[in-house]
Amino acid sequence: MISISSVSKSFGAGERRTVALDNVSLEVARGEMFGVVGQSGAGKSTLIRTVNLLERPDSGTITVDGVNLTALRAQELRIARQGIGMIFQHFNLLSSRTVQGNVELALEVIGRDPRERKRRAAEILDLVGLTAKAGSYPAQLSGGQKQRVGIARALAANPSVLLSDEATSALDPETTRSILELLRTINTELGLTVLLITHEMDVVKTVCDSAALLEGGRILEHGKLVELISTPGSRLARDLFPLGAVTVRPGTTVIDITFSGGNADRPVIAQLARDHSLDISILGAAIETIAGNQAGRTRLELPGTAQAHSAIISDLRAQGLLVEVVGGEAA
Amino acid sequence: MIDVNSPTFWPELIQVVLVGLGQTLYMVGFALLFTIIIGLPLGILLVGTERGGLFERLFGSTRVGRVIHTVLEFVVNLGRSVPFIILMIAVIPFTRFVVGTFIGSTAAIVPLALVAIPFFARMVEIGIKEVDPGLTEAAHSLGATRWQIVTKILVPEALPSMFLGLATTITSIINFSAMVGTVAGGGLGDVAFRYGYQRFSTIHIVVVVIVIFVIVMILQAVLTYFAKRFARNSFDEKGGRASRRLAADTLTGGI
Ligand SMILES: Nc1ncnc2c1ncn2[C@@H]1O[C@H](COP(=O)(O)OP(=O)(O)O)[C@@H](O)[C@H]1O
Ligand SMILES: [Mg+2]
């Protein structure tokens, strides 16, 4: 649905030249919720702004819904943008217009007549749960309500893609959750493809099917969350399910087991303890539901050295679990 | 010398002041009309043709935008810096060309509009620059045209500050209209000059001052009311409102 291909973008020239995007390629499948994470300054905003060409890449191509945007002329690009909604961290609502007026702006732009505008605005405000606030001005709304208006405006013209630039970063955790739920609903019920960027791992964990990690303008990892989790040494997986620092007591071995998909709900640990008559301590665990699947990691402490447990470890791996020995003698 | 105790003094004074008031309102009204009609697009173009502005690439060429911006900057700065009395004399050939004469209230409209246009254009520029660039960005993301961005985003959002700018502009037009009066433009300034200065009637001066003061107060109140009415986000987080008022005050104080 969205295809970012070898996109580079730099700002400034000479000494002050900063490379914001360095040969970035990314595919977002139709109907997917894709999260791009990275620290501040990683190039996330630049990346998402190149998707609707608010920022024109220096090189590379952007294809949305089969249309190569980078090849379009100004007029054609405007039309293409009408099929790509966007929401912003600071909402960017017109203070001079009511909630309804803000939503209708999107419909005026595409030339709908007043009656149709009114009908569609009411419909979409109902979807985001703001019918009662239709006549209010943005200054009278809370942050969460403002973002709902932003979402309504972005969706009014029936786009097939929604871009979200840190849409929840200015909101408190409670409100963040409700906005994320709304985005997920829109994604599943309207079949919208959502590309969101965030610096919060929690956002990705809560709503995304796939994610990419951006650092210094490069994509370090990307893929479906369920797959990333079972990828050895994945930084995204470690950031998504942090287990903290490893402390190993003498004479013990510490292993991390990553569960995902089907093996998550099997009583793996209990079985392990039984089969091998071991005293197993659970040092930490992070279990979440990702895209409807249980997934997570558990850190276990086994008595004895790693060699002594090689049989156990290969037994676990044979069951399809990802096992990493993270600490212990001769580990 | 005028006899204050003559029974015809007050009726005559009222008559003279009313005529003067009518001429002043006529001059100021039309000057204001032209100021808005020309100054508003000029101000928009002034911001738009800046680097990274909406009209940076006018007619598909960056060069055109750049040239227009430079010319506008020059014209506006020139118009703002030339003392009014000199401007008034300097544009006499132009006034004669447009109106047919350079004497009278109608002719006075020309220099008044010419002095107010650059002033108001700057006010419009200030107002539009204060519109959050995020709004323009959002409009672009919706696929809006440049014309739609100007008419649906920039102008409505800058309206409160443009009304404050207009209040300041009117005050300065009224101010200058009094000066025009002395050069045969008529109006309240002319009344003050002919009766107050040439015929030593202090009462005429006092009445003219009061009338002008009242007009300015009323206009300020009305326009400030509109400015407030259109400012839906009074005291937004970024302090935009406060800085806007400060800018307006600074400019008022400069007249
Ligand atoms: N318009 C711009 N002009 C100059 N530098 C910019 C501009 N936009 C972004 N940058 C630079 O590009 C880099 C990436 O910025 P950005 O995409 O905003 O990162 P993020 O959204 O991940 O915080 C930063 O170093 C930033 O300073
Ligand atoms: Mg950013």
Contact (CB<8Å) B143/A86: no
Distance from CA of A22 to the nearest CA of B (A): 23
> Residues of chain A with pLDDT > 90: what percent?
62
**Of B51, B132, B137, B141, which to mutate for an interface test with A (greatest number of A Cβ within 10 Å)?**
B141
| Same domain for A86 and A150 | yes
Cα separation, A153 vs A107, whole angstroms: 9
Instruction: At A174, give phi and psi (nearest 5°).
Output: -60, -50
Q: Which domain holds residue A196?
A: 2-224
Number of separate domains in chain A: 2
Decide: helix, strand or coil at residue A286: strand
A121 near B CB under 8 A = no
Expressed in angstroms and rounded, the spacing between residue A196 Cα and the centre of ligand 1 is: 17
| Same domain for A275 and A144 | no
- List all residues 6 or more positions away from A133 whose beta carbon is below 8 Å from its beta carbon: A99, A125, A140, A141, A145
A155 near B CB under 8 A = no
**CB A40 less than 6 A from any atom of ligand 1:** yes
CATH number of the domain residue A134 falls in: 3.40.50.300
pLDDT in tens, B178-212: 888 777 678 888 888 888 878 888 888 899 999 99
Mean pLDDT calculated for residue range A35-41: 93
Contacts of B157 in chain A (CB under 8 A): 94-96
| Token pair in block for residue B132 | 């959050």
pLDDT in tens, A231-286: 777 888 878 777 777 777 888 888 888 876 666 667 777 877 888 777 888 888 87
Q: Which residue among A92, A137, A139 places its CB closest to the CB of B134? A: A92
Give the ligand whose atoms come closest to the C-alpha of residue A47.
1
Q: Which residue among A84, A96, A153 places its CB closest to the CB of B159? A: A96
Mean pLDDT calculated for residue range B41-64: 83
Q: What is the pLDDT of residue B248?
A: 45
Q: Which CATH architecture has domain B9-253?
A: Orthogonal Bundle (1.10)
CB contacts < 8 Å between A and B, how many?
A: 74
CATH number of the domain residue A255 falls in: 3.30.70.260
Task: Name which of B43, B40, B67 is nearest B56 in CA terms.
Answer: B67
Contact between residue B39 and residue B117 where contact means Cβ atoms under 8 Å apart:
yes
Residue A230 falls within a domain, yes or no? no
Expressed in angstroms and rounded, the spacing between residue B56 Cα and the centre of ligand 2 is: 25
Contacts of B232 in chain A (CB under 8 A): 95-96, 137-139
ipTM: 0.84
Q: What is the pLDDT of residue B239?
A: 41
Residue A29 falls within a domain, yes or no? yes
pLDDT in tens, A188-246: 999 999 999 999 888 888 889 999 999 999 999 999 887 887 777 788 887 877 777 77
Is the pLDDT higher at A197 or at A309? A197
pLDDT band at B140 (very low <50, low <70, confident <90, very high): very high
A248 near B CB under 8 A = no
| Same domain for A116 and A20 | yes
Q: Tokens 């009311």 — which residue?
A: B225
State in Å, rounded, how far the first CA of chain A is from the last one. 45
Contacts of B244 in chain A (CB under 8 A): none
Q: Which residue among B157, B231, B236 places its CB closest to the CB of A94? A: B157
- Maximum C-alpha span of chain A: 76
Sheet holding A210-215, edge to edge: A84-88, A161-165, A193-198, A33-37, A210-215, A218-224
Cα separation, A68 vs A189, whole angstroms: 27
Task: Classify the phi-psi angles of A217: left when phi > 0, otherwise alpha if psi is within -120 to 50, otherwise beta.
Answer: left
* CA distances, A131 to each of A103, A169, A303 (Å): 12, 25, 61
Contact (CB<8Å) A96/B156: yes
Return the ∠ at Cα A296 (arms to A295 and A297), rounded to 5°: 150
Cα separation, A127 vs B173, whole angstroms: 52
Every domain of chain B and the residues it spans = 9-253
| Same domain for A315 and A220 | no
| Same domain for A212 and A178 | yes
pLDDT in tens, B53-102: 888 777 777 788 888 899 999 999 988 888 988 988 899 999 999 988 88
